[in-house]
Amino acid sequence: MRVLIFIILAVLLLPLILLGYLIFFWRIRRVCIPQNISGTANEPYGGRLYMHVVGTRPDEAGYKLAWYLPSYGGIARLLIIDTLGLACKISGYKLWVFSYPGPRPSNMVTAISHRSYFFDESVKEALFRSSNPATQFVVLGSGFDTRCYNLPEGADIKCFEVDMAPTLNAKKRALELAGIAHEHVTFVETDFNQETWMEALLDSGFNPSLTTYILWEGVTMYLVEEAVRDTLNLIATLPAGSAVGMDFFSRDLIEGNPPYEKLSKATHRSISFYSESLRFGIATGKNLSDGLEELLKESGLTLIRFEHIGSLEDKKPPYYFLSLIEKQ
Ligand SMILES: C[S@@+](CC[C@H](N)C(=O)[O-])C[C@H]1O[C@@H](n2cnc3c(N)ncnc32)[C@H](O)[C@@H]1O
């Protein structure tokens, strides 16, 4: 019955949702891209907004922030996100696509909830474990991530958000307009593809002698290989117990090797809509994690947890991975 009521409401609201998406995509092309504000940052963020309104993963800060962003701001959030939330609230049906932590094995449709859960858990564990908790939290390529604003009150953690200036500026403006406290967060404007990005972080007060958790979610695929290697090498210089949570695509997907030829083309095409490009993937190998473990040899970091999106039974082997890597 709940599902039926939801479907009826969703069909009635569909024209509004489609209008919302028209406005949203127009803004991406005409407002965000010309100002170099990341368009792809809206993709995972949109998934988290849906999980919030559906009631599976609360993110009040993210929800408030959306109202003031150039992409989801005002009418767009109302038409795209709030309408669906309303349909779920009235019907009492929690749309499975936005379940949290979501089904296992996951698939590309439920990838955002799998990914959010993986990183939520690793952040919580690193910051709140009893022994040697991380006291510094760095979000690399933060986009519209709001984990720094959903920390428990009174948590004594130094937070840094690192991204390119246009995206950070749009976010800072939205945080101010939304009245979200952000005094505990230092914003660092930089480009990871430039060798000096760590200097920008150090100049902003980052303390390399503190145990640190680095969230590097949804970013490696946009970087050049050297930037990924350099970043891992830098993380290896942090104190023991420091960790990085990162996701990555397989090299075969990025390069369009069999059996991913068509999927690779479609993925590159969808990212080029945002005027961004996918550049980096890691070889997988027999154990899927072989390539990552090989990459980590250079920095001496240790792979602690490794998960894949999709099932091993799927026609195409998994090509998107989540990992937790530690300095021991
Ligand atoms: C797909 S978004 C992910 C955002 C966020 N981590 C999340 O999961 O919601 C990728 C982010 O990385 C940032 N980014 C991409 N390339 C970058 C670079 N070379 N230097 C700094 N930031 C970069 C983009 O601006 C964007 O905010």
pLDDT, tens digit, for every residue of 135-191? 999 999 999 999 999 998 878 899 999 999 999 999 999 999 999 999 999 999 999
pLDDT at 298 over 90: yes
pLDDT of residue 71: 98
pLDDT in tens, 49-92: 999 999 999 999 999 999 999 999 999 999 999 999 999 999 99
Could you tell me what percent of the chain has a pLDDT over 90? 94
90 backbone dihedrals φ, ψ, rounded to 5°: -65, -45
Q: Is the minimum distance from the CB of 161 to ligand 1 under 6 angstroms?
A: no
Closest CA to 63 of 77, 80, 79: 77
Q: How far is the CA of 262 from the centre of ligand 1 (A)?
A: 25
Mean pLDDT of 109-122: 97
Q: How far is the CA of 41 from the centre of ligand 1 (A)?
A: 6
pLDDT in tens, 266-275: 999 999 999 9
Listed by start position, the domains of the chain span 2-98, 114-326
Q: Is the minimum distance from the CB of 143 to ligand 1 under 6 angstroms?
A: yes
Q: pTM for the whole thing? A: 0.96
- Distance CA(324)–CA(231), nearest Å, equals 14
The chain-wide mean pLDDT, for the chain, equals: 96
CB atoms within 10 A of CB 132: 12
Residue with the bigger pLDDT between 256 and 194: it is 256
Token readout for 314 is 């799927």
Q: What is 114-326's CATH superfamily?
A: Vaccinia Virus protein VP39 (3.40.50.150)
Where does 281-319 show beta strands of DSSP type E? 281-282, 302-308
Cβ pair 95, 88 in contact under 8 A: yes
- Distance CA(75)–CA(220), nearest Å, equals 32
Q: Is the minimum distance from the CB of 249 to ligand 1 under 6 angstroms?
A: no
Torsion-angle region of residue 140: left (phi > 0), alpha (psi -120 to 50) or beta?
beta
Q: Atom of ligand 1 at shortest distance to CA of 145?
A: 9
